[in-house]
């Protein structure tokens, strides 16, 4: 049971003296879930209640008082409606208390004024009773509106949160772009090693789990550091290394000063995946892969170098590359560069040349504030 569940079980004695919803909504929450006006059916229900209570009350009173009570009720409608709307817009227990006190003070003031008129004592007593009933009715009405409205806003906020979480999850899976081809080829290797009791099954499973765990949270954030991105890349390379054995030889040469370079998440991973898919895998005798990063004053240069088959005759930017370019432009306009060149001795160099800090420090997404999990 969570701490929150336990809290709702404890009796809040404060409600006895100072009733109303807790905790108060913030301005942001009200802007997200509390900007609507009361619906027509809600207003009709309130009116029907009011009229039936009034009819019932009038039955109890002498006919002579009816005019007075009707008049006072009609006069009270205007301030009561505005008080109710004031609570509707911000249903807090402070406002509830203030509105109820104001109603009481108003009716008390009316009672003093009427006393000055020197009415017949019998009639005056009935009027005072009616005023007391009206102020009680106002307080009850305010209380109901406040609670109803607070519940309504809470439910709406919960619904909005859930929808945003679902959208964030869908976006995350879409941007993670885990290649089904990569996944199922890894599973095919794992299947065999499990069947044949080969110890490589455990290595591959560990690397693949680490890769998935590191990759999915990557995309919850708008930016992350080179160090964080490299953690996911290393897991990816471990998976490929286990599968390919001698065919893949890789080294990482990262200057410590470059580790806190900011990157759009998954961008470097895409370049590494491309180097493997289009450079190393199609190469008859395997290939080498080097990832090099160094810092030069306020810029960082990252290169993914492979000694594979090289670019095709008419290199076309795949979806991955076009996507990467637009993400770079989003963060840096045109001061960031992504280049792809043929390596003279065979293979390809993918180069990233970035200013240390992005133009805008985009805020992290509030709907999914989970920090990126690091695999152990």
Partner 1 sequence: MSRLTALIADDEEAPRAQLRAALRRCWPELEIVAEAVNGVDAWDAFLEHEPAVCLLDIRMPGLSGIEVAERIAGRAQVVFVTAFGDHALAAFDAGAVDYVLKPVDDERLAQAITRLRQRLDQRATPPLPDAALQGLLARLAAQVQRPAPVDVIQASLGKEVRLIRVASIVYFESDARYTRVVHEDGEALIRTPLKELLAQLDPQRFWQVHRSVIVNHHHIAAAVRIDEGTMHLVLHGRPEKLPVSRHFQGRFKGQ
Query: Shortest gap between Cβ of 183 and partner 1 (angstroms)?
Result: 8
Choice from 181, 197, 366, 371 touching partner 1 (CB under 8 A): 181
Beta bridge partners of 306: 289, 348
Element (H, E) at 287: strand 287-296
Are the beta carbons of 18 and 92 closer than 8 angstroms?
no
Binding mask of the shown chain, residues 214 to 253, with x at each position contacting partner 1 by CB under 8 A: -----------------------------xxx--------
Neighbours of 112 (CB within 10 A): 8
Residue 203 engages partner 1 in binding (rule: CB under 8 A): no
Residue closer to partner 1, measured from CB, 263 or 287: 287
Residue located via tokens 């809040």: 12
Choice from 282, 341, 359, 360 touching partner 1 (CB under 8 A): 282
Residue closer to partner 1, measured from CB, 121 or 180: 180
Residue 192 engages partner 1 in binding (rule: CB under 8 A): yes
Contacts of 288 (CB under 8 A, 6+ apart): 249, 250, 251, 306, 307
Contacts of 213 (CB under 8 A, 6+ apart): 373, 375
Residue closer to partner 1, measured from CB, 51 or 188: 188
Neighbours of 104 (CB within 10 A): 16
Residue 341 engages partner 1 in binding (rule: CB under 8 A): no
The CA distance from 341 to 345, in Å, is 12
CA dihedral 190, 194, 197, 200 (to 10 degrees): 30
Residue 284 engages partner 1 in binding (rule: CB under 8 A): yes
The CA distance from 190 to 201, in Å, is 5
Contacts of 24 (CB under 8 A, 6+ apart): 92, 93, 94
Choice from 220, 283, 300, 307 touching partner 1 (CB under 8 A): 283
Element (H, E) at 83: helix 63-89
Size of the site for partner 1 (CB under 8 A): 32
Element (H, E) at 75: helix 63-89
Residue closer to partner 1, measured from CB, 265 or 310: 310
Residue 178 engages partner 1 in binding (rule: CB under 8 A): no
Residue 128 engages partner 1 in binding (rule: CB under 8 A): no
Choice from 188, 252, 257, 329 touching partner 1 (CB under 8 A): 188
Query: Shortest gap between Cβ of 175 and partner 1 (angstroms)?
Result: 18
Residue 66 engages partner 1 in binding (rule: CB under 8 A): no
Residue closer to partner 1, measured from CB, 184 or 357: 184
Residue 173 engages partner 1 in binding (rule: CB under 8 A): no
The CA distance from 355 to 214, in Å, is 25
Residue 191 engages partner 1 in binding (rule: CB under 8 A): yes
Query: Shortest gap between Cβ of 269 and partner 1 (angstroms)?
Result: 18
Choice from 123, 281, 340, 356 touching partner 1 (CB under 8 A): 281
Residue 317 engages partner 1 in binding (rule: CB under 8 A): no
Query: Shortest gap between Cβ of 292 and partner 1 (angstroms)?
Result: 23
Residue 174 engages partner 1 in binding (rule: CB under 8 A): no
Closest CA to 272 of 337, 220, 349: 349
The CA distance from 226 to 125, in Å, is 81
Contact set with partner 1 (CB under 8 A):
179-181, 183-185, 187-193, 195-196, 198, 200, 243-245, 278, 281-284, 309-313, 316, 318
């Amino acid at each position: 049971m969570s701490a929150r569940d336990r809290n709702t079980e404890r009796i809040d004695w404060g409600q006895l003296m100072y009733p109303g919803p807790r905790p108060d909504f913030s301005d942001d929450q009200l802007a997200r879930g509390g900007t609507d006006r009361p619906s027509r059916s809600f207003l009709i229900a309130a009116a029907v209640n009011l009229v039936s209570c009034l009819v019932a009350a009038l039955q109890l009173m002498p006919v002579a008082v009816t005019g007075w009570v009707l008049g006072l009720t009609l006069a009270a409608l205007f301030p009561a409606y505005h008080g109710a709307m004031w609570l509707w817009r911000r249903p807090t227990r402070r406002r509830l208390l203030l509105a109820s006190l104001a109603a009481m003070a108003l009716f008390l003031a009316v009672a003093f004024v009427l006393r000055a008129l020197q009415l017949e004592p019998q009639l005056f007593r009935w009027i005072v009773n009616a005023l007391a009933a009206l102020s009680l009715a106002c307080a009850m009405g305010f209380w109901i509106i406040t609670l109803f409205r607070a519940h309504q806003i809470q439910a709406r906020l919960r619904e909005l949160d859930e929808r945003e979480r679902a959208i964030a999850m869908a976006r995350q899976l879409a941007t993670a772009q885990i290649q089904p081809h990569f996944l199922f080829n890894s599973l095919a290797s794992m299947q065999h090693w499990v069947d044949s009791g080969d110890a490589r099954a455990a290595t591959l499973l560990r690397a693949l789990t680490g890769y998935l765990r590191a990759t999915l949270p990557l995309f919850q954030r708008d930016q992350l550091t080179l160090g964080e991105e490299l953690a996911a890349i290393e897991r990816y390379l471990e998976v490929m290394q286990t599968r390919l054995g001698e065919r893949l030889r890789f080294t990482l040469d990262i200057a410590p000063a470059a580790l806190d370079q900011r990157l759009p998440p998954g961008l470097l991973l895409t370049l590494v995946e491309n180097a493997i898919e289009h450079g190393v895998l199609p190469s008859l005798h395997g290939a080498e892969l080097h990832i090099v990063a160094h810092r030069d004053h306020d810029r960082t240069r990252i290169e993914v170098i492979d000694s594979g088959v090289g670019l095709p005759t008419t290199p076309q930017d795949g979806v991955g590359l076009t996507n990467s370019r637009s993400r770079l432009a989003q963060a840096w306009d045109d001061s960031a560069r992504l280049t792809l060149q043929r390596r003279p001795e065979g293979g390809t160099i993918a180069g990233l040349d970035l200013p240390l800090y992005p133009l805008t420090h985009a805020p992290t997404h509030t709907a999914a504030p989970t920090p990126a999990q690091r695999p152990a």
